[in-house]
Structure 1
């Protein structure tokens, strides 16, 4: 017998909700980068080669300046042109390597992001239904699109830029040591101040970018909900209220953006200011050395250029850090999704459900979505093969929950669910779910042909089988009137057909699936009375030799059920046939009468 799995297995916040540090994010990103290590190595080689040629420029510039002597016309113009020519050549080569590196990094980042998106989508497929019940679709889409795009921007520019900056800093430092070790000490006076300031601001900015990404996810979630419900909003003339809600979230998102960008953008200019102070010190001390004859003008010029190359990457890194913080916050949201606990794996030795007869037993089933509220407590139900079980009750009574448990969208806390005397937790989820055909009140169609949508649940379905299913569902004549018949393309989620027609297509899909058990959750809620009668006649054929579970608010549609399960407040309050329940004049009787009052 199963035990209560505890809060962490019921969708309650866990340690996965805590913010992660930068080391964690980098550690998670590294496998994606390392997968293309040879491309990355080539990018680093190109960076190294380009920087070597770039670092030779200031030295050649110093040689050219030293070819200039005091006095009118006292210039060794041949030497100046010689060194200037080499400078131009080296800078052209350096720029060419930088160009190749940029193309390579774009290619590399796209490969990494492609793999990351693939992994995220694969993870979404593996997540339990409860995750999507707790999270907005817009926020999930934001992680796949905006957050991963933010990571892509950082990968394609910032990472190699940092590597290049490190190389430039090291190379410039070595060249400055060769020219004048004393001036190096003068320059280093302000470096600790730059590093301390950068570290302080990094800690301050990181939470701001994390908040920015979260707020954007909220905004996308709200927008997605409102766009999908726009007809309802306009029908209730609630545009003003919706706009107020949007404005509030939009203002919070804008403020989060402003705070993150403001503090992030101050880092570069501040570090640049500190480095310019260092440059002033170098100029003064260099002038003194020149007056004493300890350094030539060329060496002073070269040293200043190298000091700019040394401090420039530090300033650039300060600017890049804000972008890296944004990418780290985005990566944190992506990896938080990828770290979500997947749907519990099939137990070791789980067997396939084969040769299904369709006998279903629920024995002392206890379940709730959250620890504080129990939906079912010791629920018992038996459905014989080929029988029709109707589940009725007021909204929130737990009707759909029965279906969620049968399909193992959620695992029960206690008790047993048996299919042909096999406990569902001993079966593979795939074989269990394929033994059911489902028609839900929330229809789902994808962009494609009508044929593809009906044949979705059955591989290698023939046109004859699809047509037969459509005829049984009462949608065949409508399809034949379309310009391209069964090859007509319907838009995403079927927006170019009516709700009733969408429902009929999903019913045809269920009819085509060769399953011994059938679930109908408000299957006729979107069709008119005449169409409903047509569907009910077709259902009689569909339900032959199938164990059927029907959830319905319209009690007139389930009067012929073998068993009617009356659910109220998470408990089965009555059970029996329609006539028996009406004669008892209990809860079902009142529920039935209320529909005609």
Structure 2
């Protein structure tokens, strides 16, 4: 047996919430992928805000050109400054329009990249991740969380720069007009900053709670809709409504808690800004009365103080939006940073020319360290052998299949194919050596032809038809108006479970794998149909090493070898007649099915 080199460690997912700076850096990394689009938006933002901020100064000049008394208005200066203001505001508005379009395009590209990264990560994640993570929570991250990031990026990035430019330029302009009036902000600005920081510290965990509650609500809704027929069958509608109401109330409370604290911040900042405006009006009037300030400069100062206070008022909203986006981004990045399926060993080779000799030696395995499911399992399957695995629910039958496919790695022991430890070959080539037909059928939205030819893109129509005929599904397909071009809805809910099962069997018949796994492959078809497709199944299994998990023991009586699994160990093995004669566990299972 080839020496097994240690596999490369997959990157570990850091536990706990991500640092705020870390999340911001990751988001900026996505923005930087479109740096020229971002740069153009920022340049236009600077230009737009510069033109907009010249306006109040021009308004002051125009007001100063108006002096009390008949005939003392300098109309030429008034019209000149008004024309300049109109031109500046017009170009500023045009730039703002272009910026909005650019930022929408930028945010859409960023979210497209992010969704692509998330989906690629989902394709790389091991089966174990999906076993422990609710589908609704995953969908919530792909949809709601990324949409939250998109909404924030399309507005907040430009708004941050706009606010910064507005505050700096307004402050400079106010200093150039009158220094004593600016001193009012020495008191109000620190107070605004103190209130904002104290409140935002309380908002961060609340945003995390809100996004988590949304994910939990989506997960509950998804599983309830999926199991709707079961809910109806057991008459549990009122119970599910109560459970939904409880989760929905928790989600609404989380939303209210965030919005309440955000409103208190906004109200506090608005009060401080109104106080600033009142003080400016009183002090400015006194300065004008004693001729220390012209009316035009007072008007300009008031306009600039409004512009200066505006971003401070909006800062609370802006920062809360950023916190919401950060909480959403944190969940997305935690998913992207999940440890992928362990990479192949450094010396892993392609598994080719497979004959199908399988040997399991003293295999021990548990999904968690504290709970062992498979105990010292040993088994040898000759090339072309038909092995049936039977046993009660929870005995470990499907776990054996998971280990054969390397969805999970054994805890100890080894599994070999043609003398090669499966840990020394690439997972892709190993899984390509098998064809699987599972109890849980999976078909995607597409034509019947595309679903049957799913694993073979080069399959011709003749090959697909032959596979469908062998699986006893061709006559049904031919009866459809569009035949093989009939489009199946999501997971093929527009056809019966039995028909879906036959389509998956036809799909398996197109492959030329040397090993076959049938996990209750005929569980969704009736006994008559099962008998009809037995010949096709035998043709599918011919000259292949087959592992068959069966609850209907009548379907595996001709197996070359039958394993009886109980509590993760083989308690009996042999052919059907031998096991019946022993009057042991297999015999009890068999007679329990047929004695009635």
Same fold by TM (over 0.5)?
yes
Deviation at 1:507, TM superposition (A): 0.5
* Mapped contact 1:392–1:553 kept (Cα < 8 A): yes
**Corresponding residue for residue 121 of structure 1:** 119
Task: Write the mapping of 1:343-362 to structure 2, written as runs, cut at 5 A.
Answer: 343-362=341-360
CA distance in 2, matches of 1:172, 1:108: 29
CA distance in 2, matches of 1:70, 1:334: 64
Bigger mean CA offset, 67-76 vs 151-160: 67-76
CA distance in 2, matches of 1:23, 1:563: 60
Secondary structure at the aligned position of 1:366 is classed as strand
**Corresponding residue for residue 174 of structure 2:** 176
**Corresponding residue for residue 187 of structure 1:** 185
* Mapped contact 1:4–1:414 kept (Cα < 8 A): no
**Corresponding residue for residue 472 of structure 1:** 470
Q: Is 1:390 matched with 2:388? A: yes
Bigger mean CA offset, 80-89 vs 130-139: 80-89
**Corresponding residue for residue 202 of structure 1:** 200
Secondary structure at the aligned position of 2:523 is classed as coil
Deviation at 1:32, TM superposition (A): 0.7
Which residue among 400, 404, 409 is the counterpart of 1:402? 400
**Corresponding residue for residue 493 of structure 2:** 495
Which residue among 47, 71, 90 is the counterpart of 2:88? 90
Gaps of 5+ in 2: none
State the 4+ residue runs in structure 1 displaced beyond 4 angstroms. Answer: 1-5
Q: Cα deviation per residue 1:492-533 (whole Å; 9 max; x = unaligned)?
A: 211111100000000111111110000000101000001111
Bigger mean CA offset, 289-298 vs 187-196: 289-298
Q: Cα deviation per residue 1:520-567 (whole Å; 9 max; x = unaligned)?
A: 001010000011112222111111110000011111111111111111
Bigger mean CA offset, 149-158 vs 200-209: 200-209
Which residue among 414, 418, 421 is the counterpart of 1:420? 418
CA distance in 1, matches of 2:588, 2:265: 70
CA distance in 1, matches of 2:417, 2:481: 44
**Corresponding residue for residue 514 of structure 2:** 516
Task: Write the mapping of 1:73-472 to structure 2, written as runs, cut at 5 A.
Answer: 74-472=72-470
Give the alignment's Cα RMSD to 1 decimal: 1.8
Q: Cα deviation per residue 1:259-305 (whole Å; 9 max; x = unaligned)?
A: 11221233223212112212222222222322332211111211121
* Mapped contact 1:187–1:281 kept (Cα < 8 A): no
CA distance in 2, matches of 1:443, 1:261: 44
CA distance in 2, matches of 1:150, 1:128: 27
Gaps of 5+ in 1: none
CA distance in 2, matches of 1:286, 1:372: 76
* Mapped contact 1:147–1:213 kept (Cα < 8 A): yes
* Mapped contact 2:453–2:507 kept (Cα < 8 A): yes
Bigger mean CA offset, 157-166 vs 84-93: 84-93
**Corresponding residue for residue 483 of structure 1:** 481
CA 1:436–1:147: 2 relative to 1, 3 Å = same
* Mapped contact 1:186–1:278 kept (Cα < 8 A): yes
Secondary structure at the aligned position of 2:288 is classed as helix
Secondary structure at the aligned position of 2:14 is classed as helix
* Mapped contact 1:187–1:307 kept (Cα < 8 A): no
Secondary structure at the aligned position of 2:279 is classed as helix
CA distance in 1, matches of 2:296, 2:186: 21
CA 1:234–1:4: 2 relative to 1, 3 Å = farther
Secondary structure at the aligned position of 1:456 is classed as coil
Q: Cα deviation per residue 1:30-75 (whole Å; 9 max; x = unaligned)?
A: 1110011111111011111011111111101111121222345643
Secondary structure at the aligned position of 2:187 is classed as coil
**Corresponding residue for residue 69 of structure 1:** 67
* Mapped contact 1:2–1:413 kept (Cα < 8 A): no
Deviation at 1:400, TM superposition (A): 0.4
Return the TM-score normalized by structure 2: 0.96
Deviation at 1:437, TM superposition (A): 0.3
Task: Write the mapping of 1:28-47 to structure 2, written as runs, cut at 5 A.
Answer: 28-47=26-45
Secondary structure at the aligned position of 1:190 is classed as helix
CA 1:582–1:528: 2 relative to 1, 3 Å = same
**Corresponding residue for residue 56 of structure 2:** 58
Bigger mean CA offset, 67-76 vs 100-109: 67-76
CA 1:512–1:15: 2 relative to 1, 3 Å = closer
CA distance in 2, matches of 1:473, 1:15: 44
Secondary structure at the aligned position of 1:513 is classed as coil
Deviation at 1:4, TM superposition (A): 13
Deviation at 1:472, TM superposition (A): 1.4
